[in-house]
Structure 1
Amino acid sequence: MILEIVSPEAKLFSGQVTSVTLPGVDGSFQILNNHAPIVSILEKGTIKIAAPSFDFSKEVAGKFTKVNEQTYTLEIASGTIEMKDNKVIVLVD
């Protein structure tokens, strides 16, 4: 599935991922390939991204924390997420 993470300043990430874990207002939840359509509000916490490879621009690479070769995390203050047709769009603050 495709994941896009966008902040008011820049597009932080765009690429093919295997899963994304998000800090929802009712607790953390994970989205996998072919997930049902969903729209949700996010609270302060950590987004965990699993992908076969990562390609960050130099401007935003410092915002992500490497867990291992296939997993990175991103701290957010709040946001919203929409999943539809195997495309996840996350708007973050």
Structure 2
Amino acid sequence: MSTFLLEIVTPERKVFAEQVNMIVAKGVQGELGILPNHIPLVTPLKIASVTVKQQGAKDQLVAVNGGFMEVRKDKVVILAESAELPEQIDVERARAAKERAEQRLKDNKQANVDFKRAETSLQRALNRIDVSGRK
């Protein structure tokens, strides 16, 4: 079965760089399944998990918090704002961030609450909790 190189990169580090058979990512237009020799494209990504499929291995999840995906014939690069493998996620910190964001959203009547920022924080926390729970 043919493969392609998947690189997941953040401003701080390279999170993942391996040959894979397929990935499933959530773009802003919907879910994308990428196989070897896919047509080239660039798309923004949602805050969601990316599923990595490798022959003979269990599907692996990566918590990707926004960014862009560039697909080439033999390589996919995900440039993410942040990304974490399940074993890198601090679940307690994610739960605390979720609670803070939910509280801010509940108190959105206050003029000093940045609703969009709180909503994004909640999505990131839920993504991390989901990926860590499905490892």
Indicate whether the TM-score tops 0.5. yes
Tell me the percent identity.
32
Runs of 4+ in 1 over 4 A off after TM superposition: none
- For residues 2-13 of structure 1, the aligned pairs below 5 Å read 2-13=5-16
Which is richer in strand? 1
CA positional deviation for 1:26: 1.4
The CA distance in 1 between the partners of 2:9 and 2:35, in whole Å, is 19
Structure with greater Cα Rg? 2
Out of 39, 51, 55, the position equivalent to 1:36 is 39
**Structure 1 spans left out of the alignment, 5+ residues:** 54-68
CA positional deviation for 1:70: 2.8
Which is richer in helix? 2
Q: Per the alignment, in what secondary structure is the counterpart of residue 44 of structure 1?
A: strand
The CA distance in 2 between the partners of 1:15 and 1:77, in whole Å, is 20
Match of 1:17 in 2: 20
Which protein has greater RCO, CA pairs closer than 8 Å, 6+ apart? 1
Match of 1:90 in 2: 78
Deviations 1:17-74 (A, max 9, x none): 0001111001111100110111100011110001137xxxxxxxxxxxxxxx331101
**TM-score, normalised to structure 2's length?**
0.55
* Alignment: residue pair count: 78
The CA distance in 2 between the partners of 1:18 and 1:40, in whole Å, is 20
